[in-house]
Amino acid sequence: MSEVMLKTENLGISFGGLKAAQNVNITINKKDLYGLIGPNGAGKTTVFNLLTGVYQPTTGKFFLDGENLTGKKQESINRKGIARTFQNIRLFNNMTVISNVMVGLHNDPKYKSTPFTSMLRLPAHFAAEKKMRDRAKELLDIFGLMEERNTLACNLPYGKQRKLEIARALATNPKLLLLDEPAAGMNPNETAELMDTIRFINKEFDMTILLIEHDMKLVAGICEKLTVLNFGQVLAQGNTSEVLNDPAVITAYLGEDD
């Protein structure tokens, strides 16, 4: 069958006595659109932080495309191919939209230029800058941000900031894209547009996507498979429709019947 892109084995972390995540086993195949859901405080973002190296797991391992990335630093994990967006948008606010995307292109070997070639304006610097700018424009065009490319990121409307964050993450040329609540704070129209965008990225870029979301409409609409977390543990796993009808999941969200 299809190849495995991300595999976590008993991934877990505890802060003192608090087990924020434990025994999380997720397997994501290539080109999957995978959802990670759960009530507030279930440990979804903690899992993201583990996968991107913000936290180091206390137990378990995770593999990207067969390569063990456990214990690596954030920047090297990103270079190995995991890019993410943030729950509360973290753009480079005082930089222009296009610069934001170009920061994402920073480590691509295609645009190599050492600090000293840049400082002395050697030809390699100009070549790299031009290629980066062209690539960034391509990406911005895809996300419909071309018009605003020279505005500061903080002056963008909310929906576009979300899009820019996704564009910036894609600029790092990842194998796996992690989206942390991409629809948070969006109105239904924006959410619908976002669903299209995510589907588009999944199809056109052949991107494997793992997303956290509370908007069940979005999750049910685009995710093929789901993992439900509750109190740091996997509660249910499998195809979207089955998982969402699982009594245990419903109980976790809505509470127990008396």
CA distance 41 to 191: 23
CA distance 98 to 152: 9
Judged on CB neighbours under 10 Å (0-12, 13-18, 19+), 168 is: buried
Q: Which of 191, 186, 161 is nearest to 86 (CA)?
A: 161
Nearer to another protein, 10 or 110 (CB): 110
Neighbours of 169 (CB within 10 A): 23
Q: Looking at the DSSP assignment, which residues form a beta bridge with residue 164? A: none
CA distance 219 to 225: 9
Nearer to another protein, 10 or 122 (CB): 122
- How many residues bind another protein (CB under 8 A)? The answer is 66
Under rule CB under 8 A, which residues in 163-202 are in contact with another protein? 168-169, 172, 181, 183-185, 187
Q: Looking at the DSSP assignment, which residues form a beta bridge with residue 230? A: 233
- Least separation in angstroms between residue 126's CB and another protein is 10
- Least separation in angstroms between residue 206's CB and another protein is 21
Q: Which residue in the block uniquely carries the two structure tokens 């063990």?
A: 68
124 near another protein (CB under 8 A): no
CA distance 229 to 235: 5
Residues 178 and 83 sit within 8 Å (Cβ to Cβ): yes
Q: Which of 71, 144, 157, 238 binds another protein (CB under 8 A)?
A: 157
244 near another protein (CB under 8 A): yes
Phi, psi of 132 (to 5 degrees): -60, -45
Nearer to another protein, 4 or 184 (CB): 184
- Least separation in angstroms between residue 40's CB and another protein is 5
* x-marked contacts with another protein along 53-92 as a string, rule CB under 8 A: -x------------------xxxx-xx---xx-x-x-xxx
Nearer to another protein, 13 or 83 (CB): 83
Rule CB under 8 A: which residues touch another protein?
39-40, 52, 54, 73-76, 78-79, 83-84, 86, 88, 90-95, 99, 102-107, 111, 113, 115, 118-121, 125, 128-129, 132, 151, 154-159, 168-169, 172, 181, 183-185, 187, 214-217, 219-220, 244-245, 247, 250, 253-254, 257
